[in-house]
Amino acid sequence: MVRIDDVIDAYLMKRPGSDISRIQRAYIYSAKQHEGQLRKSGEPYMIHPLAVAQIIAEMGLDETSICAALLHDTIEDTDTTKEVVARLFGSDVALVVDGVTKLSKINFTRREERQAESFRKLLVAMSNDIRVLIVKLADRLHNMRTLHHMKPEARESIAQETRDIYAPLSDRLGISWLRSELDNLSLKYLEPAKYEELAKKVDKNRKTRQAFIQKTIKELQATLNAAGYSARVTGRLKNLFSIYEKMQAKGLDYADVQDALAFRVICKTMSDCYAILGLIHSHWVPVPGRFKDYIAMPKPNHYQSLHTTVVGKGGERVEIQIRTEDMHQIAEYGVAAHWTYKEGRPSGPSTDAFNWLRELIENQSEVGDSDEFLDSVRVDLFRDEVFVFTPKGDVKSLRKGATPIDFAYAIHSEVGDQCAGARVNGVQVPLRTTLKNGDMVDIVTSKNQRPSPHWLDLVKTSRARTKIRAYLRAEQRTQSRQVGQELIEKGLRRYGCSFNKMMKTGKLASAASALKFGNVEDLLASVGYGKVEANEVIDNILPDDKRDNPPDAVKEGPIEKVIRKVKRPEGGIVLDGLDNLLVQFARCCSPLPGEDIIGYVSHGRGIVIHRRSCSKAAMLDPERRAQVQWSSKAVSLRPVNLKLTTSHQTGVLANVSNIFKALNININAAQCEPNGHSQGVCHFSFMVKDLTQLNQLVRALKQSKDVLSIERLPG
């Protein structure tokens, strides 16, 4: 049981010579207020505030934080008010205690809404002082340590909330030991059978592993000493949750987890870190693709370290982390490692360590809808980056959710533009695949490959999105310029004139100026877009005598040009009574016969058909829209992609496949995987003849108890 003397000793160890009088007064007041109150275990309630204060003191936080920890439940569980706390212990302590009280009242249990409004309240509660969150995390840690005294349903609810909310928050603050313990305890209560089974397997060979750890530490230390480096080496078996995650992610048994051991080399300088890395690689064989440089590219929570995995002499894989003492303190304690105060306000690097939180708080006031707010902050609040590797072992940092296309553009614009495929960890994958931390990505390029508008739906990084849009605009402009030149050239030939001659004499430039275009390129592109008629340009080029005797020419607009270029009947689309048109179906909405459609006259691709309700169709140039409808001859099959959220149990895929079979619909491709919430996500690609057939399928799927939701995806 923790005593106040233990708390004070821990505080003075981190801050020797500090005044402890306010801490002592806070303890006496809290003990008096909680007198007679008991915890679920039957023990005096005061053991909880003392335990929380001990955690805070060991983290090295200041006197205000420790006082707030001792008093954090007084406003909620006793007659004490914020005003009384402020009068007795200062406004700074009262502010933190009040914030922790507000956090305790937030409900994070509505997982289907991802706790949107709760996140907003959490940020507001922390808006003035991040110590609110740190004390709350310490409070949650002690509650998790004593969770066995709660009823089973309460244990599961609190553990799930801890895994979903508080463990990621502790990671975002960079407090790695706290994240590790919260994850372990969550696993213990959410999946007790798996936890116990894994714990027994770890304990079974713990002595052997510990002997190997000690032997490796001595070997590493001797190597460093011989090379003249002043560094210390520690070793450990990775925590249960870390091993469990690795087993789940790779489908491994415990015996197959090769890098369950981790060693740390803590040295003096950053240059020593890189030199020691080279030394280690010269003595042990490095595992390709397993080197991570978080010194050059720190994590969002300011974590810095070099990570490498090597093969020991006995064939055992071990991970070695190399960092300086300062990096180690930040890695372990995050924002608390450099928590310094001057006159009650954070100063130095500590303010920089949680700028991300301050930005979130500022942004939240501008968003009215809670769900919209959550969407805007989720990436910033949780792990917002993935680190992936090139085949040469270089590290690329990408936004969470990034795909191989994002990775390709991160390497080089040309690699992105020519991205024709990708291999992730040696396996060919679709370009829509979401990359994960540690993936090794190899991009397959082709000189014939070009960016597609569909890619904009797949990428997550702003760099990739910007490059794709720039390419598409340039490509469209080039095509439009060519079309414009062809139209003007054809018109000039009718008058016996040459396009090249008009260019050389400067008459085309004069026409561009007269029509208020910056140059000939802009003029030609506008003609190709259909914004300016070719005859209007010709009227500004030809001499008066030739314009006075025009040929019997037919004005040719963009739609007429498409009709003239018809090569084959396709798709069963009718335009002004014509049904032998060259058409393309937009992949952004994949229209089906029976759906209301609209056409867009493109350059070189005929008429592109969209669903009338498509958001992209609404942004098309009105001058290039064409009113189209389905022909009665529309009998070809059209592709459809559906995303199904299903229950995660045996036989679901077979049951769903039987529904397709009953309606005589052939599945072209299917991909299913669990989503981590006792559910599965299945993507199906197939062909249907019209909207009626698709609606029949959707109705049949909705009647299945295995299908929880259905979403139609772009083609």
Burial degree of 49 (CB within 10 A; 0-12, 13-18, 19+): buried
Question: Length of the chain, please?
Answer: 715
Q: How far apart are alpha carbons 212 and 314 in whole angstroms?
A: 10
Contacts of 302 (CB under 8 A, 6+ apart): 174, 330, 334, 335, 353
Of the candidates 57, 56, 37, 60, which has an alpha carbon nearest to the alpha carbon of residue 47?
A: 37
Of the candidates 24, 113, 118, which has an alpha carbon nearest to the alpha carbon of residue 70?
A: 24
Q: How far apart are alpha carbons 97 and 86 in whole angstroms?
A: 10
Structure tokens at 208: 């052997």
Contacts of 391 (CB under 8 A, 6+ apart): 289, 440, 442
Strands (E), 268-336: 285-286, 292-293, 306-311, 317-324
Burial degree of 174 (CB within 10 A; 0-12, 13-18, 19+): buried
Q: How far apart are alpha carbons 442 and 204 in whole angstroms?
A: 40
Q: How far apart are alpha carbons 178 and 173 in whole angstroms?
A: 10
Is beta strand 583-585 parallel, antiparallel or unpaired with respect to 607-611? parallel
Q: How far apart are alpha carbons 260 and 205 in whole angstroms?
A: 12
Contacts of 695 (CB under 8 A, 6+ apart): none
| 8 A C-beta contact, residue 388 and residue 440 | yes
Q: How far apart are alpha carbons 452 and 608 in whole angstroms?
A: 14
Angle in degrees, 0-180, between the axes of helices 116-125 and 355-364, rounded to the nearest 10: 120
* Ramachandran quadrant class, 412 (left: phi over 0; alpha: psi -120 to 50; beta: rest): beta
77 is catalytic: yes
> Which residue out of 58, 73, 76, 521 is catalytically annotated?
76
Of the candidates 412, 377, 378, 381, which has an alpha carbon nearest to the alpha carbon of residue 394?
A: 412
DSSP track, 652-684: HHHHHHHHHHHTT--EEEEEEEE-SSSEEEEEE
Which strands sit side by side in the sheet containing 625-626, from one edge to the other? Answer: 583-585, 607-611, 597-601, 625-626
Task: Say whether 310 sits in a helix, a strand or coil.
Answer: strand
Of the candidates 222, 225, 204, 226, which has an alpha carbon nearest to the alpha carbon of residue 214?
A: 222
Q: Return the exposure string of 64-101: e unless at least 16 CB atoms fall within 10 Å of the residue's CB, then b.
A: bbbbbbbbbbbbeebebeeebbbebbeebbbbbbbbbb
Instruction: Give 600's Cβ-side CA count (13 Å radius).
Output: 19
| 8 A C-beta contact, residue 484 and residue 519 | no
Task: Say whether 316 sits in a helix, a strand or coil.
Answer: coil
* Residues paired with 309 in a beta bridge: 319
First to last CA, the chain: 62
Structure tokens at 663: 């309606």
Could you identify the residue written with the tokens 């609190």?
A: 158
> Which residue out of 9, 19, 73, 77 is catalytically annotated?
77
Which residues have a catalytic role annotated? 76-77
